[in-house]
Amino acid sequence: MDTNIPLHSVGLAGLFYLALQISVTMHILLKKDDVKSSIGWIGLVWLAPVLGSIIYILFGINRIRRRALALRNKGPDIFTLTGKSQKEIEQEIPAPFLQLMRLGYKVHPQRFALGNRAKPYVNGDEAYPEMCKLIAQAKKEVLLQSYIFDNDKAGQMFIPALEQAVKNGAKVKVMVDGVGLNYSKPTIAAALKKLKGVEFAVFLPSKSPVALPFLNLRNHRKMLIVDGEKAFFGGMNIAAGNLVKTNPKEPIIDVTFQVEGPVTDQMSRVFEEDWIFAGKKHFVPASFRAKGRPNGKMPARIIPDGPDSDFGKIEMMVLGALSCAQKSVKIVTPYFLPENNILTALEIAAMRGVDVEIILPSKSNIFGMDCAMRANFARLLTKGVKIYSTHPPFDHSKILLVDSAWLFFGSANWDVRSFKLNFECNLECVDKDLAAQVEKIIEHKKSIARGEKPEEHLHPSFWRKITDNAFKLLTPYY
């Protein structure tokens, strides 16, 4: 049997491979803005001709953006809805923050909603009972979205409340991320689907082959909006670990916020878009503005971000806040792996005389994360940035406080995944009273934390430096 491959077949295959490599390279050059990312992809495509191209086609193309823009273009521009003119809103913003507000409006053209109020809740011990109570009192609508909704003691707390909301006549919608849903086995999905009157959606189910290219693009948002009037918003998942007082195996400290006022309309609009994105039917959320009786004083707005955005809105807001800060910057985050632009902005703020403090967990819940974060300590500490490491339990809180008045909180961590890959959502507000409450929480964290010293990180051992920098290379993948 003649097993020789005809030369013309080899030539055709070679031409095909070359055409494929050139086509994929051109796509990378046209679509990728980040130089390092472009070099990495092009190198992979040419060093592994077929496999590299396949990997890029599966994981390197942002299909999310194309799909989200197509959905958004079908409906009204939900991000410019407001009942106040820009001039009216500016009169409600303290003068020192006007510049930051104007920058923010360029980053995301959603005006502030006036007349809100908010209250922080620490851990699931405080938050979950209030969330369930709010759900059980619903009369019109319950919109619940979480990255993780575990089928455990915490998750089961919400089932009777959701049942009661349905009995009250409320329309109930629950949405969980496709990856986060599988953090507990069996998942909460079966229990939710059994509830008559509860609509359940999974955002990009992870088990579907179609979802393979989207495994890195998760919906990390967490919010609960009831009757379009009150909401819980922040970075707290629904999991037994947050019930710290029950002594769970892996306790998690966290902070979330109850929010009341017209800004809940902006939350509902974000939920609505995610709901449609998850393949569900369009609906009109209950509106606070229909009642028109705000009783708070806090200007606030929602900033959604994700791979469907033109640029990183949350990252841009962080950079703007760091450049506008005059007195103090207080950061609480579980994962601190920002890119060089954020690190430089922190250093510049500290060198300008701004008191910059970063509060991190001393032990992460992700392998290698501690080493990767520690790799940046020396450069920050030597420029005057203060770093505090909190002792276990693991602290999952996500807060940015500037000049004891401007607050930025929500689902986003300080890492590449949150700034560039995930669907995130943060709330921006200016409120000295709320800031004072949050500052007390932050000061308590500092009081039980260990301050990192420059000399501890300036001359690390050979193996520690190798280990830290090796894990730092994985920054885009955490």
Q: pLDDT (tens digit, 9 = 90+) per residue, 294-318?
A: 778 999 999 999 887 767 999 999 9
Average pLDDT of span 346-355: 98
Share of the chain above pLDDT 90, in %: 63
Q: What are phi and psi of 270, to 5 degrees?
A: -65, -45
Q: Parallel, antiparallel, or unpaired for β 414-415 and 222-226?
A: unpaired
Question: Domain residue spans in the chain?
Answer: 7-61, 113-298, 313-477
Task: Extract the runs of DSSP E, i.e. beta strands, from 281-402.
Answer: 298-305, 328-332, 336-337, 355-361, 386-390, 394-395, 399-402
CB 334 within 8 A of CB 394: yes
CB 58 within 8 A of CB 213: yes
Question: Which of 50-59, 175-184, 245-254 is least confident?
Answer: 50-59
Residue 88's pLDDT is what?
67
Q: Does the pLDDT at position 280 exceed 90?
A: yes
Residue 347 is classified by DSSP as H
Residue 30's pLDDT is what?
83
Residue 238 is classified by DSSP as B
Could you check whether 113-298 and 313-477 share the same CATH topology? yes
Residue 75's pLDDT is what?
43
pLDDT band, very low/low/confident/very high, at 402 (cuts 50, 70, 90): very high
C-alpha–C-alpha distance, residues 447 and 359, integer Å:
11
313-477 maps to CATH 3.30.870.10: yes
CA dihedral sign, ordered 311, 314, 319, 320: positive
Rounded to two decimals, the pTM is 0.87
Question: Which of 168-177, 264-273, 278-287 is least confident?
Answer: 278-287
C-alpha–C-alpha distance, residues 474 and 416, integer Å:
10
Q: What is the pLDDT of residues 231-272, one digit of tens each?
A: 999 999 999 999 999 999 999 999 999 999 999 999 999 999
Rounded to a whole number of angstroms, the distance between the first and last alpha carbons of the chain is 52
CA atoms within 13 A on the CB side of 159: 15
Identify any residues that bridge with 143 across adjacent strands, giving them in sequence order.
Answer: 173, 225
Residue 452 burial class via C-beta count within 10 angstroms: exposed 0-12, middle 13-18, buried 19 and up? buried
pLDDT band, very low/low/confident/very high, at 5 (cuts 50, 70, 90): low
Mean pLDDT score across all residues of the chain: 88
Average pLDDT of span 416-422: 89
Average pLDDT of span 424-439: 97
Candidates 165, 230, 155, 157; CA nearest to 186 is 155
Residue 12's pLDDT is what?
74
Q: What is the pLDDT of residues 64-118, one digit of tens each?
A: 555 555 545 444 444 444 456 666 667 767 777 888 988 999 999 988 999 999 9
Residue 57's pLDDT is what?
78
Q: Does the pLDDT at position 408 exceed 90?
A: yes
Share of the chain above pLDDT 70, in %: 86
CB 264 within 8 A of CB 225: yes
* Distance from chain centroid for Cα 54: 29
Residue 79's pLDDT is what?
41
Residue 390 burial class via C-beta count within 10 angstroms: exposed 0-12, middle 13-18, buried 19 and up? buried
Q: Which CATH number fits domain 113-298: 3.40.50.2300, 1.10.1040.10, 3.30.870.10, 3.10.580.10?
A: 3.30.870.10
385 versus 60: the higher-pLDDT residue is: 385
